[in-house]
Protein backbone atom coordinates (compact mmCIF):
# COMPACT_ATOMS: atom_id res chain seq x y z
CA UNK A 1 0.00 0.00 0.00
CA UNK A 2 2.97 2.34 -0.58
CA UNK A 3 1.69 5.66 -2.01
CA UNK A 4 2.72 6.54 -5.56
CA UNK A 5 1.99 9.28 -8.08
CA UNK A 6 2.02 9.56 -11.86
CA UNK A 7 2.98 13.11 -12.86
CA UNK A 8 2.37 14.31 -16.42
CA UNK A 9 4.26 17.07 -18.17
CA UNK A 10 1.13 19.26 -18.28
CA UNK A 11 0.99 19.28 -14.47
CA UNK A 12 -1.72 16.69 -13.91
CA UNK A 13 -1.08 14.27 -11.05
CA UNK A 14 -2.67 10.84 -10.53
CA UNK A 15 -2.38 9.36 -7.04
CA UNK A 16 -2.33 5.62 -6.46
CA UNK A 17 -0.25 2.82 -4.96
CA UNK A 18 3.18 1.48 -5.87
CA UNK A 19 3.01 -1.46 -8.28
CA UNK A 20 6.29 -3.26 -8.80
CA UNK A 21 9.50 -1.64 -7.67
CA UNK A 22 9.44 1.43 -5.41
CA UNK A 23 11.36 4.49 -6.52
CA UNK A 24 11.42 6.85 -9.49
CA UNK A 25 11.16 6.40 -13.25
CA UNK A 26 10.93 8.89 -16.09
CA UNK A 27 9.73 8.43 -19.67
CA UNK A 28 7.14 9.32 -22.26
CA UNK A 29 3.61 8.46 -21.12
CA UNK A 30 1.71 6.48 -23.78
CA UNK A 31 -1.34 4.24 -23.70
CA UNK A 32 -1.84 0.73 -25.03
CA UNK A 33 -5.32 -0.49 -26.02
CA UNK A 34 -4.50 -4.22 -25.91
CA UNK A 35 -6.80 -6.28 -23.70
CA UNK A 36 -4.27 -9.13 -23.48
CA UNK A 37 -0.56 -9.75 -24.01
CA UNK A 38 0.90 -7.51 -21.32
CA UNK A 39 4.05 -9.67 -21.02
CA UNK A 40 4.80 -9.22 -24.73
CA UNK A 41 4.10 -5.49 -24.39
CA UNK A 42 6.40 -5.00 -21.43
CA UNK A 43 9.30 -6.89 -23.06
CA UNK A 44 8.95 -5.23 -26.47
CA UNK A 45 12.14 -3.17 -27.02
CA UNK A 46 10.05 -0.64 -28.97
CA UNK A 47 8.68 0.57 -25.62
CA UNK A 48 12.13 1.59 -24.38
CA UNK A 49 11.91 4.85 -22.36
CA UNK A 50 8.11 4.86 -22.29
CA UNK A 51 5.69 4.66 -19.37
CA UNK A 52 2.80 2.51 -20.58
CA UNK A 53 -0.73 3.20 -19.33
CA UNK A 54 -2.93 0.12 -19.79
CA UNK A 55 -6.48 0.79 -21.00
CA UNK A 56 -7.66 -2.66 -19.89
CA UNK A 57 -8.87 -2.22 -16.28
CA UNK A 58 -7.51 -5.48 -14.85
CA UNK A 59 -3.94 -6.55 -15.50
CA UNK A 60 -1.93 -9.55 -14.31
CA UNK A 61 -4.46 -12.39 -14.41
CA UNK A 62 -2.15 -14.81 -16.22
CA UNK A 63 0.95 -13.93 -14.22
CA UNK A 64 4.39 -14.15 -15.81
CA UNK A 65 6.03 -17.09 -17.56
CA UNK A 66 9.38 -18.07 -19.06
CA UNK A 67 8.12 -18.36 -22.65
CA UNK A 68 6.38 -15.17 -23.77
CA UNK A 69 9.14 -12.59 -23.37
CA UNK A 70 9.91 -10.74 -26.61
CA UNK A 71 13.37 -9.35 -25.83
CA UNK A 72 15.55 -12.45 -25.85
CA UNK A 73 18.82 -11.49 -27.55
CA UNK A 74 18.38 -7.74 -27.12
CA UNK A 75 20.89 -5.61 -25.26
CA UNK A 76 20.74 -6.24 -21.52
CA UNK A 77 18.62 -9.39 -21.80
CA UNK A 78 21.60 -11.55 -20.86
CA UNK A 79 21.58 -9.90 -17.45
CA UNK A 80 18.03 -11.07 -16.72
CA UNK A 81 17.90 -14.32 -14.78
CA UNK A 82 15.79 -17.00 -16.44
CA UNK A 83 14.26 -16.89 -19.90
CA UNK A 84 11.41 -14.47 -19.35
CA UNK A 85 13.16 -11.62 -21.16
CA UNK A 86 14.14 -8.11 -20.22
CA UNK A 87 11.35 -5.64 -19.50
CA UNK A 88 11.98 -2.56 -21.65
CA UNK A 89 9.18 -0.21 -20.57
CA UNK A 90 10.31 2.61 -18.31
CA UNK A 91 7.23 2.26 -16.12
CA UNK A 92 3.76 0.73 -15.95
CA UNK A 93 0.44 2.31 -14.89
CA UNK A 94 -2.64 0.14 -14.30
CA UNK A 95 -6.07 0.42 -12.73
CA UNK A 96 -6.61 -2.89 -10.97
CA UNK A 97 -3.78 -5.43 -10.68
CA UNK A 98 -5.13 -8.91 -10.12
CA UNK A 99 -4.68 -10.42 -6.67
CA UNK A 100 -4.45 -14.01 -7.90
CA UNK A 101 -2.48 -15.54 -10.78
CA UNK A 102 -4.44 -18.10 -12.78
CA UNK A 103 -2.55 -19.76 -15.64
CA UNK A 104 -0.85 -23.14 -15.82
CA UNK A 105 2.26 -21.66 -17.50
CA UNK A 106 2.83 -18.92 -14.91
CA UNK A 107 6.08 -19.10 -12.96
CA UNK A 108 5.52 -15.93 -10.93
CA UNK A 109 3.21 -12.93 -10.71
CA UNK A 110 3.48 -9.79 -12.82
CA UNK A 111 4.22 -7.63 -9.80
CA UNK A 112 6.95 -9.95 -8.56
CA UNK A 113 8.62 -9.77 -11.98
CA UNK A 114 8.36 -5.98 -12.02
CA UNK A 115 10.04 -5.92 -8.61
CA UNK A 116 12.72 -8.38 -9.71
CA UNK A 117 13.63 -6.29 -12.73
CA UNK A 118 13.37 -2.98 -10.89
CA UNK A 119 10.47 -1.57 -12.93
CA UNK A 120 8.66 1.23 -11.09
CA UNK A 121 4.90 1.22 -11.58
CA UNK A 122 1.65 2.56 -10.16
CA UNK A 123 -1.80 1.02 -9.65
CA UNK A 124 -5.18 2.21 -8.48
CA UNK A 125 -5.31 5.30 -10.69
CA UNK A 126 -8.19 6.27 -12.98
CA UNK A 127 -6.58 5.04 -16.19
CA UNK A 128 -9.63 6.10 -18.22
CA UNK A 129 -8.98 9.73 -17.31
CA UNK A 130 -5.23 9.38 -17.87
CA UNK A 131 -5.79 7.89 -21.33
CA UNK A 132 -8.27 10.62 -22.22
CA UNK A 133 -5.67 13.24 -21.33
CA UNK A 134 -3.04 11.54 -23.50
CA UNK A 135 -5.49 11.10 -26.36
CA UNK A 136 -6.66 14.72 -26.25
CA UNK A 137 -3.31 16.40 -25.56
CA UNK A 138 -0.86 13.85 -26.93
CA UNK A 139 1.82 11.63 -25.46
CA UNK A 140 3.97 13.62 -23.06
CA UNK A 141 6.89 13.37 -20.69
CA UNK A 142 5.95 11.83 -17.36
CA UNK A 143 7.27 10.20 -14.20
CA UNK A 144 6.16 7.66 -11.61
CA UNK A 145 7.35 8.31 -8.06
CA UNK A 146 6.96 6.30 -4.85
CA UNK A 147 8.71 5.78 -1.52
CA UNK A 148 11.74 8.00 -0.94
CA UNK A 149 11.38 9.47 -4.45
CA UNK A 150 8.19 11.31 -3.47
CA UNK A 151 8.44 15.09 -3.05
CA UNK A 152 6.24 18.14 -3.49
CA UNK A 153 4.47 18.43 -6.85
CA UNK A 154 6.58 21.32 -8.13
CA UNK A 155 9.80 19.36 -7.63
CA UNK A 156 8.39 16.21 -9.26
CA UNK A 157 7.10 18.25 -12.19
CA UNK A 158 10.54 19.81 -12.64
CA UNK A 159 12.10 16.32 -12.80
CA UNK A 160 9.56 15.32 -15.43
CA UNK A 161 10.09 18.40 -17.57
CA UNK A 162 13.88 18.23 -17.38
CA UNK A 163 14.06 14.85 -19.13
CA UNK A 164 14.66 14.73 -22.91
CA UNK A 165 11.76 14.46 -25.35
CA UNK A 166 11.12 11.36 -27.43
CA UNK A 167 11.37 13.58 -30.51
CA UNK A 168 15.00 13.46 -31.57
CA UNK A 169 15.75 10.40 -29.43
CA UNK A 170 18.18 7.93 -31.00
CA UNK A 171 17.38 4.71 -29.13
CA UNK A 172 17.87 1.74 -31.48
CA UNK A 173 21.51 1.45 -30.45
CA UNK A 174 20.45 1.08 -26.81
CA UNK A 175 18.29 -2.00 -27.42
CA UNK A 176 20.02 -3.80 -30.29
CA UNK A 177 21.85 -7.09 -29.82
CA UNK A 178 25.43 -6.76 -28.64
CA UNK A 179 27.02 -9.34 -30.94
CA UNK A 180 24.32 -10.88 -33.13
CA UNK A 181 22.94 -14.41 -33.17
CA UNK A 182 21.53 -17.03 -35.52
CA UNK A 183 18.02 -18.53 -35.48
CA UNK A 184 17.73 -21.61 -37.68
CA UNK A 185 14.72 -23.65 -38.82
CA UNK A 186 14.06 -26.97 -37.13
CA UNK A 187 13.91 -28.64 -40.56
CA UNK A 188 15.60 -27.84 -43.87
CA UNK A 189 16.96 -24.32 -44.43
CA UNK A 190 15.53 -22.92 -47.65
CA UNK A 191 16.81 -19.34 -47.45
CA UNK A 192 19.03 -17.12 -45.31
CA UNK A 193 18.08 -13.60 -44.28
CA UNK A 194 20.01 -10.87 -42.45
CA UNK A 195 17.80 -9.13 -39.87
CA UNK A 196 18.92 -5.69 -38.72
CA UNK A 197 18.05 -5.53 -35.04
CA UNK A 198 16.64 -2.08 -34.33
CA UNK A 199 14.66 -3.56 -31.42
CA UNK A 200 13.56 -6.91 -32.86
CA UNK A 201 11.03 -9.07 -31.03
CA UNK A 202 11.79 -12.73 -30.35
CA UNK A 203 8.84 -14.06 -32.33
CA UNK A 204 9.96 -12.50 -35.62
CA UNK A 205 12.94 -14.82 -36.32
CA UNK A 206 10.72 -17.67 -35.11
CA UNK A 207 8.12 -16.82 -37.76
CA UNK A 208 10.82 -16.89 -40.43
CA UNK A 209 12.21 -20.18 -39.10
CA UNK A 210 8.76 -21.79 -39.39
CA UNK A 211 8.99 -21.06 -43.12
CA UNK A 212 12.44 -22.57 -43.56
CA UNK A 213 14.32 -19.26 -43.33
CA UNK A 214 17.48 -19.02 -41.24
CA UNK A 215 17.82 -15.56 -39.69
CA UNK A 216 21.18 -13.99 -38.88
CA UNK A 217 20.29 -11.19 -36.47
CA UNK A 218 22.81 -8.35 -36.74
CA UNK A 219 23.39 -5.26 -34.56
CA UNK A 220 21.97 -1.94 -35.73
CA UNK A 221 25.54 -0.89 -36.62
CA UNK A 222 25.94 -3.68 -39.21
CA UNK A 223 27.48 -2.65 -42.53
CA UNK A 224 26.53 -3.64 -46.04
CA UNK A 225 29.89 -5.39 -46.36
CA UNK A 226 28.94 -7.66 -43.46
CA UNK A 227 25.62 -8.46 -45.10
CA UNK A 228 27.26 -9.11 -48.45
CA UNK A 229 29.87 -11.40 -46.88
CA UNK A 230 27.11 -13.50 -45.30
CA UNK A 231 25.73 -14.28 -48.75
CA UNK A 232 22.12 -13.91 -47.60
CA UNK A 233 19.09 -14.07 -49.86
CA UNK A 234 17.39 -11.01 -48.40
CA UNK A 235 17.34 -8.38 -45.66
CA UNK A 236 14.83 -7.66 -42.91
CA UNK A 237 14.45 -4.35 -41.01
CA UNK A 238 12.93 -4.79 -37.54
CA UNK A 239 10.76 -2.75 -35.24
CA UNK A 240 12.42 -0.50 -32.67
CA UNK A 241 12.17 2.61 -30.45
CA UNK A 242 12.99 6.26 -30.94
CA UNK A 243 12.72 8.91 -33.62
CA UNK A 244 13.34 7.57 -37.16
CA UNK A 245 14.70 10.98 -38.14
CA UNK A 246 17.83 10.10 -36.13
CA UNK A 247 18.42 6.73 -37.82
CA UNK A 248 20.72 7.94 -40.60
CA UNK A 249 23.00 4.89 -40.37
CA UNK A 250 20.10 2.47 -40.89
CA UNK A 251 18.77 4.60 -43.75
CA UNK A 252 22.17 4.62 -45.48
CA UNK A 253 22.43 0.84 -45.07
CA UNK A 254 18.94 0.40 -46.53
CA UNK A 255 19.84 2.48 -49.55
CA UNK A 256 22.87 0.23 -50.14
CA UNK A 257 20.65 -2.85 -49.90
CA UNK A 258 18.19 -1.34 -52.39
CA UNK A 259 21.02 -0.36 -54.71
CA UNK A 260 22.28 -3.95 -54.66
CA UNK A 261 18.74 -5.14 -55.56
CA UNK A 262 18.50 -7.46 -52.57
CA UNK A 263 14.92 -8.33 -51.51
CA UNK A 264 13.94 -6.28 -48.45
CA UNK A 265 11.12 -6.51 -45.91
CA UNK A 266 10.58 -4.13 -42.99
CA UNK A 267 8.13 -3.70 -40.14
CA UNK A 268 7.26 -0.82 -37.79
CA UNK A 269 10.49 1.21 -37.32
CA UNK A 270 11.75 -0.65 -40.39
CA UNK A 271 8.83 0.80 -42.36
CA UNK A 272 9.94 4.29 -41.42
CA UNK A 273 13.54 3.46 -42.35
CA UNK A 274 12.53 2.15 -45.77
CA UNK A 275 10.31 5.18 -46.28
CA UNK A 276 13.17 7.53 -45.49
CA UNK A 277 15.46 5.57 -47.83
CA UNK A 278 12.85 6.17 -50.54
CA UNK A 279 12.86 9.90 -49.85
CA UNK A 280 9.86 10.28 -47.54
CA UNK A 281 9.83 12.34 -44.36
CA UNK A 282 8.61 11.32 -40.91
CA UNK A 283 6.73 13.11 -38.14
CA UNK A 284 5.77 12.56 -34.50
CA UNK A 285 2.14 11.56 -34.05
CA UNK A 286 -0.10 13.10 -31.42
CA UNK A 287 -0.55 9.91 -29.40
CA UNK A 288 0.49 7.12 -31.77
CA UNK A 289 -0.91 3.65 -32.33
CA UNK A 290 -0.33 1.09 -29.57
CA UNK A 291 -2.46 -2.01 -29.23
CA UNK A 292 -3.56 -5.21 -30.96
CA UNK A 293 -6.83 -4.05 -32.50
CA UNK A 294 -5.94 -1.46 -35.15
CA UNK A 295 -7.51 -1.80 -38.65
CA UNK A 296 -5.32 -1.37 -41.73
CA UNK A 297 -6.41 -1.20 -45.37
CA UNK A 298 -4.33 -2.89 -48.10
CA UNK A 299 -4.91 -0.74 -51.18
CA UNK A 300 -3.98 -3.49 -53.62
CA UNK A 301 -6.79 -5.77 -52.43
CA UNK A 302 -9.10 -3.55 -50.38
CA UNK A 303 -8.75 -6.07 -47.56
CA UNK A 304 -8.77 -4.85 -43.96
CA UNK A 305 -6.47 -6.55 -41.44
CA UNK A 306 -6.69 -6.12 -37.68
CA UNK A 307 -3.12 -5.50 -36.60
CA UNK A 308 -0.78 -5.18 -33.63
CA UNK A 309 0.99 -1.82 -33.52
CA UNK A 310 3.39 0.18 -31.40
CA UNK A 311 4.61 3.45 -32.90
CA UNK A 312 4.59 7.13 -32.10
CA UNK A 313 6.12 8.29 -35.41
CA UNK A 314 4.86 7.82 -38.96
CA UNK A 315 5.73 8.38 -42.61
CA UNK A 316 4.40 11.33 -44.54
CA UNK A 317 2.06 10.41 -47.37
CA UNK A 318 -1.52 9.73 -48.43
CA UNK A 319 -3.57 6.67 -49.26
CA UNK A 320 -2.64 5.21 -52.66
CA UNK A 321 -0.02 7.88 -53.36
CA UNK A 322 2.67 7.00 -55.92
CA UNK A 323 6.05 8.69 -56.11
CA UNK A 324 9.45 8.47 -57.78
CA UNK A 325 12.55 7.29 -55.91
CA UNK A 326 16.20 6.63 -56.70
CA UNK A 327 15.24 2.97 -56.98
CA UNK A 328 12.19 3.22 -59.21
CA UNK A 329 8.53 4.00 -58.73
CA UNK A 330 7.07 3.47 -55.25
CA UNK A 331 3.68 3.76 -53.59
CA UNK A 332 1.88 3.97 -50.27
CA UNK A 333 0.50 0.45 -49.98
CA UNK A 334 -1.39 0.50 -46.66
CA UNK A 335 -3.13 3.08 -44.48
CA UNK A 336 -4.86 3.01 -41.10
CA UNK A 337 -8.62 2.83 -41.42
CA UNK A 338 -9.05 4.97 -38.31
CA UNK A 339 -7.04 8.06 -39.25
CA UNK A 340 -5.39 7.58 -42.67
CA UNK A 341 -1.85 7.22 -41.27
CA UNK A 342 0.59 5.59 -43.70
CA UNK A 343 0.90 1.92 -42.72
CA UNK A 344 3.04 0.58 -45.56
CA UNK A 345 5.21 1.46 -48.55
CA UNK A 346 6.59 -0.62 -51.39
CA UNK A 347 8.58 -0.40 -54.58
CA UNK A 348 6.39 -0.96 -57.63
CA UNK A 349 8.89 -3.63 -58.70
CA UNK A 350 8.02 -5.62 -55.57
CA UNK A 351 11.70 -5.81 -54.57
CA UNK A 352 11.15 -4.03 -51.25
CA UNK A 353 8.11 -3.56 -49.03
CA UNK A 354 7.32 -2.70 -45.44
CA UNK A 355 4.41 -2.22 -43.05
CA UNK A 356 4.00 -0.07 -39.96
CA UNK A 357 2.51 -2.87 -37.86
CA UNK A 358 3.67 -6.16 -36.29
CA UNK A 359 2.88 -9.24 -38.40
CA UNK A 360 4.68 -11.50 -35.89
CA UNK A 361 1.59 -11.06 -33.64
CA UNK A 362 3.26 -11.25 -30.24
CA UNK A 363 0.79 -10.44 -28.90
CA UNK A 364 -1.98 -9.83 -31.37
CA UNK A 365 -4.12 -11.15 -34.23
CA UNK A 366 -2.66 -13.28 -37.03
CA UNK A 367 -4.23 -11.35 -39.93
CA UNK A 368 -0.85 -10.08 -41.17
CA UNK A 369 1.17 -13.32 -40.92
CA UNK A 370 0.84 -13.70 -44.70
CA UNK A 371 3.48 -10.99 -45.11
CA UNK A 372 6.18 -13.46 -44.12
CA UNK A 373 4.89 -15.75 -46.89
CA UNK A 374 4.96 -12.80 -49.31
CA UNK A 375 8.63 -12.24 -48.54
CA UNK A 376 9.43 -15.95 -48.93
CA UNK A 377 7.67 -15.88 -52.31
CA UNK A 378 9.91 -12.96 -53.31
CA UNK A 379 12.97 -14.99 -52.28
CA UNK A 380 11.69 -17.97 -54.28
CA UNK A 381 11.28 -15.79 -57.36
CA UNK A 382 14.83 -14.53 -57.00
CA UNK A 383 16.17 -18.05 -56.80
CA UNK A 384 14.16 -19.19 -59.82
CA UNK A 385 15.45 -16.30 -61.90
CA UNK A 386 19.00 -17.11 -60.81
CA UNK A 387 18.57 -20.71 -61.88
CA UNK A 388 17.28 -19.68 -65.30
CA UNK A 389 20.16 -17.25 -65.70
Known binder of ligand: residue 310?
A: yes
CB burial string 90-127: b at 16+ within 10 A, e below? bbbbbbebbeebeeeebbbbbbebbbbbebbbbbbbeb
Q: Which of 289, 311, 334, 358 is catalytic?
A: 358
Contacts by 16-19 with C-beta closer than 8 Å and gap 24+?
A: 16/93, 16/122, 16/123, 16/124, 16/125, 17/122, 17/123, 17/124, 18/120, 18/121, 18/122, 18/123, 18/146, 18/147, 19/92, 19/94, 19/97, 19/111, 19/114, 19/121, 19/122, 19/123, 19/124
Mark whether 311 is an active-site residue.
Answer: no
Whether the model pTM is above 0.85: yes
Known binder of ligand: residue 291?
A: no
Known binder of ligand: residue 312?
A: yes
Mark whether 360 is an active-site residue.
Answer: yes
Average confidence (pLDDT) over 164-181: 96
- Decide: 307 and 364 in contact? Cβ < 8 Å: yes
Known binder of ligand: residue 145?
A: no
389: pLDDT strictly greater than 60 = no
Does domain 3-161 match CATH 3.50.30.20? yes
Q: What is the pLDDT of residues 221-262, one digit of tens each?
A: 999 999 999 999 999 999 999 999 999 999 999 999 999 999
Known binder of ligand: residue 96?
A: no
Q: Is 1 exposed, middle or buried (0-12, 13-18, 19+ CB in 10 A)?
A: exposed
Closest CA to 305 of 294, 318, 319, 289: 294
CB burial string 2-14: b at 16+ within 10 A, e below? eebbbbbbeeeeb
Q: How confident is the model at residue 76 (pLDDT cuts 50, 70, 90)?
A: confident
Q: What is the pLDDT of residues 18-28, one digit of tens each?
A: 999 999 999 99
Per-residue confidence (pLDDT) for residue 255, from 0 to 100: 98
Tell me the longest C-alpha to C-alpha distance in the chain.
73
Give domain limits for the chain: 3-161, 172-388
Task: Tell me: cis bond preceding 303? Omega within 30 of 0 counts.
Answer: no
Does domain 172-388 match CATH 1.10.15.40? no
Per-residue confidence (pLDDT) for residue 77, from 0 to 100: 81
Q: Which of 24, 111, 113, 360 is catalytic?
A: 360
Q: Which of 40, 113, 268, 346 is catalytic?
A: 268
Rounded Cα gap, residues 82 and 71, in angstroms: 12
Mark whether 336 is an active-site residue.
Answer: no
Amino acid sequence: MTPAVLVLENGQVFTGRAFGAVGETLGEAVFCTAMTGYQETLTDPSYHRQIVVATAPQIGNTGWNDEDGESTGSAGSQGVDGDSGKIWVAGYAVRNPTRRVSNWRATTSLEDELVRQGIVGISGIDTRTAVRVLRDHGSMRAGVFSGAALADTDELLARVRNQPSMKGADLAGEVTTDTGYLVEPAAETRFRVAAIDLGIKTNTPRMFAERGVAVQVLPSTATFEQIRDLGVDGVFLSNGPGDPATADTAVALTREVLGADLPLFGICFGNQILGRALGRGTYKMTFGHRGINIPVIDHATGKVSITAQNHGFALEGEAGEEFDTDFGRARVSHVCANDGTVEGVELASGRAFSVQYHPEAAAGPHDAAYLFDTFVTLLEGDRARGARA
